[in-house]
């Protein structure tokens, strides 16, 4: 029997997207964002609280990088989602993570993350619905350690973490369960 749990953001898994931007003085800010995702092959969206420093930085620089948090950076990635640069200036330095300037967009790349999307802001929609950032993916940088012999990203090497909105847990990736556009093939023959 099914039970109603009310209207809530009941999607799982949610990504743990690490958004890096430059502050006014050129220092780095980093925040954790689960709400957002891919809209098209080179277009993504973030749903941010407009009071975040990240939102201010994005409005000013029209750019950010988005990295996927993994098991090796779970403490750092969670910490920057707990405190705002507005109240805890220098929070990025405190994590011990390091950053380099992107060559494609006006935003920092956090060196320790293994998969990073370099994004240029296309449009910001700030109204009663929320603060939504639409951005073009200009390039994607991957650490060679997560590539398979054919040069494709191997998510089992990336070891991404996923966010569970029901109980605020972070989860690791499980076993591969099947192949897309292939697992359903038996029905084509019926």
Positions touching ligand FMN (CB under 6 A) are 29, 31-35, 47-49, 52-54, 78, 81, 83-86, 163
Tell me whether residue 145 or residue 168 sits nearer to ligand FMN (CB atom): 168
Q: Minimum distance from CB of 162 to ligand FMN (Å)? A: 10
Tell me whether residue 21 or residue 116 sits nearer to ligand FMN (CB atom): 21
The pairing of strands 28-33 and 17-22 is antiparallel
Q: Which residue has the tokens 């009310």?
A: 6
Return phi, psi of residue 54, to 5°: -55, -40
Tell me whether residue 49 or residue 103 sits nearer to ligand FMN (CB atom): 49
Q: In whole angstroms, what is the distance from residue 133 CA to residue 49 CA?
A: 11
Name the residue number minimizing CB distance to ligand FMN. 81
Q: Minimum distance from CB of 137 to ligand FMN (Å)? A: 18
- Going by C-beta distance under 8 Å and a sequence separation of 6 or more, which residues neighbour residue 92? 27, 28, 29, 30, 80, 85, 99
Q: Minimum distance from CB of 152 to ligand FMN (Å)? A: 28
């Amino acid at each position: 029997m099914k039970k109603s749990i009310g209207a809530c953001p009941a999607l799982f898994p949610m990504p743990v997207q690490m958004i890096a931007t430059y502050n006014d003085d050129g220092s780095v800010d980093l925040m954790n964002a689960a709400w957002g995702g891919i809209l098209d092959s080179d277009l993504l969206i973030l749903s941010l609280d407009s009071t975040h420093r990240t939102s201010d930085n994005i409005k000013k620089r029209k750019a950010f990088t988005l990295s996927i948090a993994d098991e090796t950076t779970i403490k750092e990635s969670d910490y920057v989602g707990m405190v705002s640069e507005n109240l805890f200036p220098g929070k990025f330095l405190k994590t011990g993570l390091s950053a380099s300037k992107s060559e494609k967009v006006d935003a920092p790349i956090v060196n320790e993350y293994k998969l990073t999307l370099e994004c240029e802001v296309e449009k910001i929609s700030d109204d009663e619905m929320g603060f939504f950032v639409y951005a073009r993916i200009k390039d994607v940088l991957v650490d060679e350690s997560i590539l398979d012999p054919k040069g494709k990203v191997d998510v089992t090497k990336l070891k991404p973490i996923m966010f569970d909105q029901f109980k605020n847990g972070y989860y690791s990736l499980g076993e591969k369960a099947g192949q897309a556009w292939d697992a359903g093939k038996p029905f084509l023959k019926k």
